[in-house]
Structure 1
């Protein structure tokens, strides 16, 4: 055997085999990484975030409305994030429900720039806890009013740290420039959202909906503030669509119960 192994021809065969196998050894770890990145968990929850002064019960009627108009009934879990970061749960996720609704509300649901930033961080706490429990790696989100700001800030600042992917985002009456109606005045929040827009997930599809009670806004949020979403999302995500809802229940507070919006949620967010 020792004499055979010293033959030049046999050594050449061994070297050729090693060289032939080398690309496979290099490619295999890359393939495993790619498979992990492409894997999509069966569960893809829909996060609902209310605006200021609203609690985790804000979307009870909306979820009932969505379930009544769909053959696929989805469960509802409500989470309240306390100021100390603790979480309170109500409702439950039905076993096997792959598209449950999860409402995240806040004990401190006051308005204001500083508080919105805090709520975005509280949302991250809830998201990470739910992700650890339910093992999902992608999701969609809907935010009414400041809830849309919370989700946008989360996607810019903290989403990448979770390893999850955002599929779709719908904002309803979201004041991206707060309550400022002057098109020449930029709030600090708007400056921050535009400064960090390159951090938004590239594959995200976004729908921004404005309500029309008057010719200038929905009674609370000016059109210009909602329409500024285009400066944040357009060209930074896979798709961006702006829509305006008029008619009954088009004022700011009633938008989540608006029949047209419920249909848009079914069509664009849940499909």
Structure 2
């Protein structure tokens, strides 16, 4: 009897692995036509944070992209506005939070709220894939979401762009890793290996965008490098490179158009 149980368990192991591969293969073969770009603003920013960005992109595009906005309230209820335009396969969806405070614990809560919002949006619009953009702490929220809540058997994500994201908060010394950076490093194996990541930082004086230090943005390499398919760091200089201006920066919008909205080979990594 014991031998029979052991044989059954041994046979079940490869079967379980086969089923897991089949689920992933089935999901890949049935990728939804709808492929939204989900954007998350930073601390103190609202669902309107990316209005100018979308307006500029729509001005540059032959076909307009929809803009759907979600605000997650403190009681977990969602306020959703906007309309999915006909024949639009690449809509923009913004997930913001009524409690948009800065800090380690607020960012943790916001990542959990993001999970609620993504699940609800999926139920409404029926997509199973997306790309992501996060400005400032929005990039931290995105990374925490991928490590703690993202279900690779349910969704796929192709590209993530973080803009001015302080992976080490205000700490410039990369030898002094903050709690958020330590957590992201510890959970990095949960990030999809096929993901293409772009990490953008603005530079008004070659060391900061006026709020976030270049060293803190660069700390993202400890999270993504060697884990994802491609990790590219890009520094943007010139006009509108202060932290709050980055989502409207024309260079960054061009990077979004080239590397998130369009399918093409990723740029070479820039140090």
TM-score interval for Structure 1 and Structure 2 normalised by the shorter chain: 0.7 to 0.9
Gaps of 5+ in 2: 1-14, 263-271
Question: In the alignment, which residue of structure 1 is the partner of 2:216?
Answer: 225
Q: Which ranges of 4 or more aligned residues in structure 1 deviate by more than 3 Å? A: 29-37
From 113, 117, 122, the equivalent of 1:122 is 113
Question: In the alignment, which residue of structure 2 is the partner of 1:143?
Answer: 134
* Structure 1 residue 251: Cα displacement: 0.9
Matched, 1:57 2:44: no
* Structure 1 residue 162: Cα displacement: 6.8
Question: In the alignment, which residue of structure 2 is the partner of 1:239?
Answer: 230
Judge conservation of contact 2:160–2:197 (CA < 8 Å) in 1. Answer: yes
* Structure 1 residue 216: Cα displacement: 1.7
From 146, 166, 184, the equivalent of 2:157 is 166
Q: Provide the C-alpha distance between the structure 2 equivalents of 1:74 and 1:216, rounded to a whole number of angstroms.
A: 35
Secondary structure in structure 2 of the residue aligned to 1:56: coil
* Structure 1 residue 96: Cα displacement: 2.7
Judge conservation of contact 1:44–1:138 (CA < 8 Å) in 2. Answer: yes
Question: In the alignment, which residue of structure 2 is the partner of 1:185?
Answer: 176
Judge conservation of contact 1:128–1:162 (CA < 8 Å) in 2. Answer: no
Judge conservation of contact 2:27–2:153 (CA < 8 Å) in 1. Answer: no
Deviates most, 68-77 or 121-130 = 68-77
* Structure 1 residue 161: Cα displacement: 6.6
TM-score (normalised: structure 1)? 0.87
From 67, 71, 76, the equivalent of 1:76 is 67
Task: Tell me how many residue pairs correspond in the alignment.
Answer: 244
The structure with more radius of gyration: 1
Secondary structure in structure 1 of the residue aligned to 2:106: helix
1:120-155 C-alpha deviation (Å, 9 max, x unpaired): 000000000011111111100000000011111101
Q: Provide the C-alpha distance between the structure 2 equivalents of 1:35 and 1:109, rounded to a whole number of angstroms.
A: 37
Question: In the alignment, which residue of structure 1 is the partner of 2:36?
Answer: 45
Question: In the alignment, which residue of structure 2 is the partner of 1:259?
Answer: 250
Secondary structure in structure 1 of the residue aligned to 2:82: strand
* Structure 1 residue 231: Cα displacement: 0.9
From 192, 209, 215, the equivalent of 2:206 is 215
Gaps of 5+ in 1: 1-25
Q: Provide the C-alpha distance between the structure 1 equivalents of 2:255 and 2:164, rounded to a whole number of angstroms.
A: 14
* Structure 1 residue 258: Cα displacement: 0.4
* Structure 1 residue 72: Cα displacement: 2.6
* Structure 1 residue 233: Cα displacement: 0.4
Question: In the alignment, which residue of structure 1 is the partner of 2:95?
Answer: 104
* Structure 1 residue 81: Cα displacement: 0.3
Judge conservation of contact 1:141–1:168 (CA < 8 Å) in 2. Answer: yes
TM-score (normalised: structure 2)? 0.87
